[in-house]
């Protein structure tokens, strides 16, 4: 009788262990693999420590932080996901999503029709107006419209609305080759390789911290503003086509946030951004002199 009871007890224990194991496996956290440049302050940047709550970069000893990282952390906290940051070049972001190398891109991407042909986007997680940066002592420092920028030499980051849509609107502009990154674009202006650069408001505000001799020109809301569509200034999170589960999950978090929430988070990012690494970006400005 003892042996029989022992056997039954062992079977019950084994069954309980299997059941508990199944529960643990079922509750394992999903890891959200998020790609970004880690070089586009205040949206995202690279730093040597986890100061301010920065996130480790996969396969690296460095950390990523900025508005995009803050947003990724918030989304993962709300959804109960683990977060992994993947550092990629700007031109590699969309292909990484399409191929499934990463789950999504949170990197200050505009929700354009062209991108929507190959990826899906969340609802906007930021709304970025278009601005112009120039030197405070530049002949364009008092410009009040796009027309007043006539004849300026200009550049911006490659594969952006700023370069592809905005620069061609400047009358008689000398449009120089596009820069590989936002830091390189800013260094080009600082080094007098161009008269102006066109970018968005967060990038411009962050640039003023790093480069006190810059002046920000904002024509928004005037008759002389850059002509851009809502899709070109609405910033979204891109993911693989047809991944409705992830889109609905991310949208459910963003729907609870307000424009004020976005601005508060962006201001927090700008307040702790590192100064631009001019030496690291200077080499990327060589293209504007070719």
Mean pLDDT, to the nearest integer, of 192-207? Answer: 96
Number of domains comprising the chain: 2
66 in the same domain as 183? no
Write out the H or E segment, with its range, that includes residue 2.
helix 2-26
**Separation between Cα atoms, residue 36 and residue 12, nearest integer Å:** 50
**Residue of 133, 226, 146, 123 lying closest to 182 (CA atoms):** 133
**Is the residue at 269 inside a domain?**
yes
CATH number, domain with residue 209: 3.40.190.10
**Is the residue at 21 inside a domain?**
no
**Separation between Cα atoms, residue 174 and residue 159, nearest integer Å:** 18
**Residue of 270, 254, 237, 252 lying closest to 119 (CA atoms):** 237
Beta strand pairing call for 82-87 and 31-36: parallel
115 in the same domain as 180? no
**Is the residue at 4 inside a domain?**
no
**Residue that has been written with the tokens 């030197």 in this structure:** 135
**Is the residue at 150 inside a domain?**
yes
Provide the 3-class DSSP secondary structure of residue 72. helix
DSSP percent split of the chain into helix, strand, coil, nearest 5: 45, 20, 35
Provide the 3-class DSSP secondary structure of residue 228. coil
253 in the same domain as 116? yes
Q: Residue 177: which pLDDT band, with cuts at 50, 70 and 90?
A: very high
Provide the 3-class DSSP secondary structure of residue 148. helix
Q: Which two tokens stand for residue 251?
A: 């949208």
Reported pTM:
0.77
285 in the same domain as 174? yes
**Residue of 61, 29, 24, 33 lying closest to 46 (CA atoms):** 61
Provide the 3-class DSSP secondary structure of residue 43. coil
192 in the same domain as 50? no
Q: Is the pLDDT of residue 21 over 70?
A: no
**Is the residue at 5 inside a domain?**
no
259 in the same domain as 201? no
**Could you read off the pLDDT of 263-274 as tens digits, one per residue?**
999 999 999 998
Q: Residue 232: which pLDDT band, with cuts at 50, 70 and 90?
A: confident
Mean pLDDT, to the nearest integer, of 105-121? Answer: 94
**Is the residue at 48 inside a domain?**
yes
Q: In this predicted structure, which of 2-11, 56-65, 182-191, 200-209 has the lowest mean pLDDT?
A: 2-11
205 in the same domain as 134? yes
**Separation between Cα atoms, residue 278 and residue 180, nearest integer Å:** 14
**Is the residue at 74 inside a domain?**
yes
**Residue of 174, 187, 88, 53 lying closest to 133 (CA atoms):** 187
Q: Which two tokens stand for residue 278?
A: 């001019």
Q: Which domain holds residue 209?
A: 130-229+281-289
Q: What pLDDT, on the 0 to 100 scale, is given for residue 265? A: 97
95 in the same domain as 77? yes
221 in the same domain as 89? no
Q: In this predicted structure, which of 1-15, 33-47, 128-142, 191-205 has the lowest mean pLDDT?
A: 1-15
Q: What pLDDT, on the 0 to 100 scale, is given for residue 100? A: 97
118 in the same domain as 221? no
| Residues in contact with 115: Cβ distance below 8 Å, sequence separation at least 6, in sequence order | 94, 109, 121, 238
**Residue of 152, 161, 150, 153 lying closest to 227 (CA atoms):** 161
**Could you read off the pLDDT of 51-109 as tens digits, one per residue?**
999 999 999 999 999 999 999 999 999 999 999 999 999 999 999 999 999 999 999 99
**Is the residue at 26 inside a domain?**
no
**Separation between Cα atoms, residue 184 and residue 282, nearest integer Å:** 6
147 in the same domain as 95? no
118 in the same domain as 96? yes
Give the residues across from 65 on adjacent strands: 45
Mean pLDDT, to the nearest integer, of 205-226? Answer: 95
Q: What pLDDT, on the 0 to 100 scale, is given for residue 27? A: 61
Query: Percent of the chain, pLDDT > 90?
Result: 78
């Amino acid at each position: 009788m003892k042996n029989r009871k022992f056997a039954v007890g062992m079977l019950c224990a084994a069954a309980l262990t299997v059941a508990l194991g199944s529960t643990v496996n079922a509750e394992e956290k999903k890891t959200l693999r998020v790609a970004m440049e880690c070089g586009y302050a205040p949206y995202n940047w690279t730093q040597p420590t986890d100061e301010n709550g920065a996130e480790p970069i996969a396969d690296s000893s460095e950390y990523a932080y900025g508005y995009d990282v803050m947003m990724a952390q918030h989304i993962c906290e709300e959804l109960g996901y683990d977060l992994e940051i993947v550092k990629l070049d700007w031109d590699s972001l969309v292909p990484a999503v399409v191929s499934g190398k990463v789950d999504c891109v949170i990197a200050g991407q505009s929700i354009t029709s062209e991108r929507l042909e190959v990826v899906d986007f969340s609802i906007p997680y930021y709304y970025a107006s278009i601005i112009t940066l120039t030197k405070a002592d530049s002949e364009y420092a008092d410009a009040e419209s796009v027309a007043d920028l006539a004849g300026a030499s200009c550049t911006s980051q490659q594969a952006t609305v700023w370069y592809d849509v905005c620069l061609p609107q400047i009358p008689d502009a000398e449009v120089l080759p596009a820069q590989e990154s936002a830091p390189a674009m800013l260094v080009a202006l600082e080094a007098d390789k161009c008269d102006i650069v066109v970018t968005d408001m967060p990038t411009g505000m962050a640039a003023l911290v790093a480069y006190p001799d810059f002046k920000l020109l904002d024509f928004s809301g005037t008759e002389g503003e850059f002509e851009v569509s809502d899709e070109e200034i609405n910033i979204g999170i891109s993911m693989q086509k047809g991944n409705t589960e992830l889109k609905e999950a991310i949208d459910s978090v963003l729907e609870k946030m307000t424009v004020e929430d976005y601005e508060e988070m962006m201001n927090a990012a700008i307040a702790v951004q590192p100064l631009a690494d001019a030496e690291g970006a200077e080499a990327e400005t060589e293209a504007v002199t070719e």
